[in-house]
Structure 1
Amino acid sequence: MAYDPVLADRIRMVLAEELLGGELDDDEGDLGLVEEKRMFGGLGFMVAGHLAVCAGSKGDLMVRVDPADLPALVEDAAVEPMAMAGRTSKSWVNVAPEALDTETLTSWVTRGVAAARTAPRK
């Protein structure tokens, strides 16, 4: 298992409590559309067909964000823009494991879901 299973369980709990418990909404096209997929050496959580967050192998969290928020988000020492294949993303950040207490994890997962909801539909 390449992803951190403890972090994956924590993400599932956040999705169940914060989203499935009332915020996922058929008008948003979300109901029944939260799914898990292995990707990037981690476990991705998709909302309405778009990747929202991903549990990494070292306890880190990849999060989809609004590109307009990126400059402010990366001012936090625990947050950095995602970089893959030599390219820096404008809409993804990586959050260090030490910054993922329960309240902060909830905030990041909620942010990722919101960004996934606003992504163009496929």
Structure 2
Amino acid sequence: MPYDEQLARRVRPLMALRRGFSEKKMFGGVAYFLDGNLCVGVSKDSLIVRVGLDAYEAALREPHVTTFGPVKRVMRGWVLVCPGGLEQLGSIRSWVERGVEFVETLPPK
């Protein structure tokens, strides 16, 4: 399944005006970076969000959120927000902001 272009079009403007923005095809979808650090991405019909280890467990308790990565090698600090949690632009914006807040704590690559 190709990635959801509509979701990517909703995420891109939330990221594109930020300093250090870049975009690459990854995970069979598209990934958005700030200063070389992966922040959020679109894979199939879901949003990948880098929340960091401190916010990871709390994020997983939210509706429509699951782990990200292969079953045997889940990527802690990253979550997958399923389509039910992305129906409103405000929800997408909130998840993107969470990713940005974490990535802004990292040194540029």
Q: TM-score if structure 2 supplies the norm length?
A: 0.88
Determine the C-alpha separation between the residues in 2 that align with 1:41 and 1:85: 17
Alignment of 1:4-43 (within 5 A): 4-16=4-16, 20=17, 24=18, 31=19, 33-43=20-30
SS at match of 2:76: strand
- Give the match's secondary structure for 1:62: strand
Match of 1:55 in 2: 42
> d(CA) in 2 for partners of 1:7 and 1:62?
11
Residues paired across the two proteins, number: 108
The residue number in structure 2 matching 1:28 is none
Aligned letter for 1:40?
F
Residue 89 of structure 1 deviates from its aligned partner by 1.5
TM-score, length-normalised on structure 1? Answer: 0.79
Q: Which consecutive residues of structure 2, in runs of 5 or more, have no partner in the other structure?
A: none
Partner amino acid, structure 2, of 1:10: R
Aligned AA (1:86): K
Equivalents in 2 of 1:115, 1:13: separation in Å? 19
Which 4+ stretches in 1 moved above 4 angstroms? Answer: none
Superposition deviation, residue 111 in structure 1: 0.9
**Percent of paired sites with the same residue:** 36
- In structure 1, runs of 5+ residues without a counterpart are 25-30
Equivalent position SS for 1:35: strand
Q: RMSD of aligned C-alpha atoms? A: 1.7
What are the within-5 Å matches in structure 2 for residues 73-92 of structure 1? 73-84=59-70, 86-92=72-78
Distance across 2 between alignment mates of 1:66 and 1:83:
14
